[in-house]
A and B are shown apart, each in its own frame.
Chain A
Amino acid sequence: MSTVTTRADATVVRPWQQLVIIWALLLTVPFWLPLVGGYTAIAARVLVMALAAMGLNLLLGYTGVLSFGHAAYFGLGAYGAGLTLKYVAASTPLSILAGTLLGGIAGTLFGLLLVRRRGVYFAMVTIAFGQVCFYIAYKWDDFTGGYDGLRGFVRAPLDFGLFKIDITGNGMLFYYFVLVVFGLAVGLQALILKSPFGRTMLAIRENERRARFLGLPVEKHIWLSFSISCFFTALAGTLYALLNNFADPLGLNYIMSGNIVMIAVMGGMRTFWGPLVGAVLFVMLQDYVSSMTTNWMSFVGLVFVLVVLFFPRGLMGVLQKRSGA
């Protein structure tokens, strides 16, 4: 029986243990992060990038389809939230809802044009659409702030009627607010992945032809997966705008799309929590290295290459790779 490998004993750290460790760390961030030289706002940035990459990963890691244009939905989320706060109402929940719908619906509609493309062609078309969004934000000075980005909005306190929670500061409260949104979003993702629909995503990743001959309408499922993925990445974008009180046209650029892909791949795209680990690494590198040199991206690139060469399944994938043989 020495070669017998099952799902359970192939995992060094069991899923429920991962869950406990990860949530224990996330919930206590404001208490331990300053001790290791970090600050709470950077932790919020990690959560935002992780959520963007986990959204992408539903498509990339679980459906097996690569989008190189997820910055478009991230950026649309950010602008949607910013524009709502600036022009419509000083309501944080409304801005999140509006931004998520803007990015998600754009992705859903665009996905209709995409689903018959595969592989490189799919990725190329997603880049193209991302760049279209980027140039619109970049050129439309009056509305989007153009090159300078969208400023002149601030996140509003949460108003629960009986009491208000002031999340306008950069401290603990805002971090926990982001963490709650993050928790709800990834909980929803986990439910989707555990559903019959979620299993069809895996089926398409594993063998599209087999899936088709089971009678699955593969294009429809890829479209839905793309759409769901865009909604989550757009939600991350809204949080990004709230975090910075700023929406940046570069958030729509293909470089940002590449960053989101890198985060998922470095962390481990076949694992649920991989993108979170990737986001920790990415944001840490971004923060520490960019304080030393403006050329920080080349360091991130180097780390990316090393991770891909030595841990092809990503950092989190290492935990799941070892077989019982």
Chain B
Amino acid sequence: MAAASPSPALPAVAAPAARWRRGLADPAVGIWLAALGVTLLGWAVVAVRGGEFLTQPNITGILQNCVALGLIALGQTMVILTGSLDLSVAYLASLGTLVAAETMAGSDGNMVPAVVAVLALCAGVGLANGLIVTRLKVNAFIATLGVALILRGWIEDNYTGPAGDVSRSFQRLGYDRIGPVPVSVFLLVGVALALWFVLRRTRLGHHMYATGGDEHAARLSGVRTERTVLVAHVLCALCVGIAALFLAARFGAGSPWAGTEARYDLESIAAVVLGGTLLAGGRGGVVGTLGGVTVLAVLDSVFNQLAVDPFFKNVLRGVVIIAAVAVYARGRRSAGRSR
């Protein structure tokens, strides 16, 4: 009874006019406008230099680059919204590719067991993260950092290089495309839709926002906050598992560096925050995160086209992330002093 009462109240808060006005100030809208702007800017700069930016291979490349980071960032969105954090995603992605490739061992018949094994592994790790955070009351930062160390030790002790073999037909997940759109993008969109539905249309989603917004108030209004955080961690880890399956299909083998080389732990958090989700939790969503991932991927592609030094690229990326978040913070401050 008590748990059900907050959920119907939430969607009906805003009147149509206010909702429209708030829609324009919504960071999720802003980040997609920024993505559009960056694309146009990239197109203009590359065109001035006599290149073509919006070519079909380039678009495919950008979309392809979105998938792995996008899936992980979507998972990260769930935990961050709930007021938690997951720093173990990079090593979990690496381990996922290794488990997938080794279970498959090159044969198509093992595809289903491999998918099940990876998802089970990830669900287990997510459960462990969630239990350490909720039951042992360890700060999420330290808890997931500790789990990351545990996974890292496990990986480094058992693998020294690429291992396993991904079956031919599974690799099609990484390479097939329909027109200019890689099939893996549909996977990303599917996961995004599912998570959007969970967040906006189910009781669990409302509980996540409530827990992230003010855990104490949520608990007092009857939300089982511990269970909510636990579920968020499991969902996040499952997203990482799906990303790992995609990465395995892409590489054709399991790689101990699949997740860490691209720094998915910190990059995914950057993408989530770039998408307007509050790092403290309670505000934000899936749409913004996808926008954040798109901006990062488009920027990367522009830098590549302009042959920017890869090290200098990092400098620029750092500046862009800080600047973007500063713009949001400014908007929020002028809208009302809420931190």
Do A and B share a complex? no
B-contacting residues of A (Cβ < 8 Å)? Answer: none
